[in-house]
A and B are shown apart, each in its own frame.
Chain A
């Protein structure tokens, strides 16, 4: 029987639609100690910036009801190191890598995108215009449609692989941003990044996270993500990789039903370190239960 879980997206021929989300999986090395990464559809590797970034002071995370806040601050070893070490290491796996690209100004994004898209195992870029935890860049590119469109076009012009743009939910109209990046030439959309939140210390009354605010992730944000995928999938003609609180096979079905063509699992990897392979293993039985031969039949069924 042909692979029931196979999904074809621009640049990405996925053996299944499950991948760990950027920032939750490093560059794969740690999880490779736990299971065979070949089981995954793809990996969205941790954001790459032109220069090495030290990230924010600690505490960087805080637990919340059915979720967590984080303000890591895009800590990463920098483009050159990633090209020399992390990406070549990943070549041992049969995995189309999605490289998350971040920057503080257009020139950074362009430079990183140009170079990292040349790596043989990078099959797509995820343009990070939605990180809420850095002072410059990140989210400021993702909250204004015109800015988002221009950056997308600039990156698209230099990238050797398809470009997916990661959208922020911290906007008045995510549909407007989605349409703008589509006009800018985006091949796909990944959504949603975290929601800006804050937790106060019960004794001191001060923010728990050193950065003050952090990005909320986990099951708590899933309804917001579903609503946004539902709306955006009807407004654009490019595919969506959905994310936001996915922690089990039913959540995956929800995102696909809402209109995502594939999904990424984030915070759940910290709680059940085997969640991705577990979901992949359970998907065929879930398709049987729902009466579908093929996972692609689930995509967008909420609109039919």
Chain B
């Protein structure tokens, strides 16, 4: 069930340029069921900034009642969030949305996980869950440059991991699809989170494969009431990214 809670900061760590890893503790963690769900964060009690920030969940630890978010401190709100220290409180609404269906992969199968930039974090909890279920994971993670790369080692512990950067300063130069074309990995289904063009390119590259894509859109309420974050679907209708998604099976959203 969706809850609103003032959660305590356990740890805040900068893990790459502008990229922070924030660990929060509280009851709300116990409601988190699926990788790929998100939380809606109010960074200050006042009106600046005036709206919440949707941030994906990167790792869930039910036993410790803690979860991790990895976010880019790019705007006003996330910059304020990045100043929170251990012991500070953060107003969290969540968990929200429908995440990645782990059960769509069968034990023994191989899942390809493709992330772009700040779309990488939700793939971490997903990969952990898939591995726990006996599914092999291959990770292809795209970043702008070497100083933006994060969680390379964490992903490596879970399966083959390829880093791609736009400027070639780490891993392979180019787009994730360039690397995929070159390596031509063997897999049964794919999961992805990242910018729209990347999701579109993936759908195109693997027309026969089962796949699940996580989308991003500017949000208002985060629960499906305000119709800010709608996207067009291939059947001519629409979906709300926050409450119908953010994860959709391939082919649902018009790319």
Contacts and interface: CB of A to CB of B under 8 A. Distances in A.
B71 to A, nearest CB: 16
Given A24-B225, A60-B227, A270 B238 contact: no
Contact of B51 (A24, A30, A63): A63
A67 interface: yes
A140 B48 CA distance: 33
A270 B52 CA distance: 8
A65 B223 contact: no
B221 A270 contact: yes
A11 B161 CA distance: 64
Given A23-B226, A59-B218, A273-B93, A219 B47 contact: yes
A72 B226 contact: yes
A212 B132 CA distance: 48
Interface in A28-61: 29-31, 33-34, 46, 54-55, 58-61
B191 to A, nearest CB: 24
Interface in A238-290: 247, 267, 269-274
Nearest to B222: A270
A58 B220 contact: no
A72 B225 contact: no
A62 B47 contact: no
Given A23-B226, A25-B225, A61 B220 contact: yes
B50 A67 contact: yes
A98 B235 CA distance: 33
A77 to B, nearest CB: 11
A61 B220 CA distance: 7
B52 A271 contact: yes
Interface in A196-255: 218-220, 247
A66 B50 contact: yes
A61 B4 contact: no
A92 to B, nearest CB: 18
B1 interface: yes
Given A30-B223, A31-B223, A219-B47, A62 B218 contact: yes
Q: Which of A25, A60, A274 has the most CB of B within 10 A?
A: A60
Contact of B230 (A58, A65, A270): A58
B228 interface: yes
A42 B98 CA distance: 30
A271 B51 CA distance: 6
B2 interface: yes
Contacts of A60: 218, 227-230
A184 B174 CA distance: 65
B225 A58 contact: no
A273 B221 contact: yes
Contacts of B219: 61
Interface of A: 23-26, 29-31, 33-34, 46, 54-55, 58-68, 70, 72, 75, 218-220, 247, 267, 269-274
27 contacts: A23-B226, A26-B225, A29-B224, A30-B221, A30-B224, A33-B223, A34-B2, A54-B238, A58-B230, A60-B228, A61-B51, A63-B50, A65-B47, A65-B48, A67-B47, A67-B50, A72-B227, A72-B228, A219-B50, A269-B221, A270-B220, A270-B221, A270-B226, A271-B42, A272-B4, A272-B42, A273-B221
Given A24-B221, A58-B228, A61-B219, 5 more contacts: A29-B224, A31-B223, A75-B238, A272-B4, A273-B223
